[in-house]
Structure 1
Amino acid sequence: MYGHSIVPYRLGLIFLLVVGLCSCGSLTSSGLNGTNFTIGTNVTPIREIKPEQDNKATVYIQGKVEKKAPLMKQWAYQISDSTGKIWVVTNQKNLGEGAQVVIKGKIRYRSIPLAGKELGEVYLEE
């Protein structure tokens, strides 16, 4: 008889858990679009990533995949936020254009001197 009285409490608890998870799911899907999606204060705006920064510095960026390009064994994605654009080199091959992403990467700079001008580019390597 003792086992039968605990069953309604377990069913009630499971019901509340399922309802809570379902309601959270519908709230998060509407709050994760566009520029409202923020992961935290450790995300670096793209405009703040400079070529003078230490090549060993690791940053988090957040933005939208604008373009993608296949490399030999990796992929390059151009990520944009409201402050600028940057290329990211990664092993991930399933990021679609338009996808919102948060990526952790090391700042890299490739020098390209051409006709007395520096045409190098800053990029991230995941």
Structure 2
Amino acid sequence: MLILTLSVPKSLATLVKLQFVGWLLLLPVVGCVRPAISESGASPAIETIAIQDVPSQEKDAIVTLKGTVGDHAPLLGGTVYRLQDSTGKIWVLTTGQAPAKGQEIIVTGTLRYKSIPIAGQEQGSLYIEQ
């Protein structure tokens, strides 16, 4: 069993110096973290596009969408869920756990297209790979 004993500084000046050095050592680590919430308490502004504008984006483009989570469908090695805003709906493929149905989220992912030819007609669709 290891017991560590630290001596307490005898003067207030020494204690303040030690505390100051400790804060200086932590400052670079804390400075690297981007806050999830701004100083005012609001979420930071994230630029999103409407789902109706997704087809005008190039294939394999990185897009950020905001919407409400709808239906889920489990897949081997992942899950797809429908994201909906006031302009449309799109499926999102994730290897992680899908967010709860009804939750409003912002998602960033790669725009993909899955070709599905049926009886000589293209029935494919766009989706977001998270």
TM-score of the pair, normalised by structure 1: 0.64
Using the TM superposition, give the Cα deviation of residue 41 of structure 1 relative to its aligned residue in structure 2, in angstroms: 6.2
How many residues in Structure 1 have an aligned counterpart in Structure 2?
A: 92
The 1:93/1:54 distance shift into structure 2, 3 A limit, reads same
Greater fraction of residues in helix? 1
CA distance in 1, matches of 2:48, 2:78: 24
Amino acid at match of 2:95: N
Measured after TM superposition, the shift of residue 84 of structure 1 is 0.2
Q: Which residue of 2 is the match for residue 85 of structure 1?
A: 89
User: Where do 5+ consecutive residues of structure 1 fail to align?
Assistant: 4-23, 29-37
Does the C-alpha gap of structure 1 residues 81 and 54 become closer, same or farther in structure 2, counting only changes over 3 Å? same
Deviation, 1:94, is: 4.5
Q: What is the Cα deviation at residue 92 of structure 1?
A: 2.5
**Structure with higher RCO (Cα < 8 A, 6+ apart):** 1
Question: What secondary structure sits across from 2:80 in the alignment?
Answer: strand
Gaps of 5+ in 2: 1-11, 13-39
What is the aligned counterpart of 1:57 among 48, 54, 61? Answer: 61
* TM-score normalised per structure 2: 0.63
Select the structure of larger CA radius of gyration.
2
Q: Which amino acid aligns with 1:75?
A: T
Percent identical pairs in the alignment equals 36
1:115 Cα deviation (Å)?
1.6
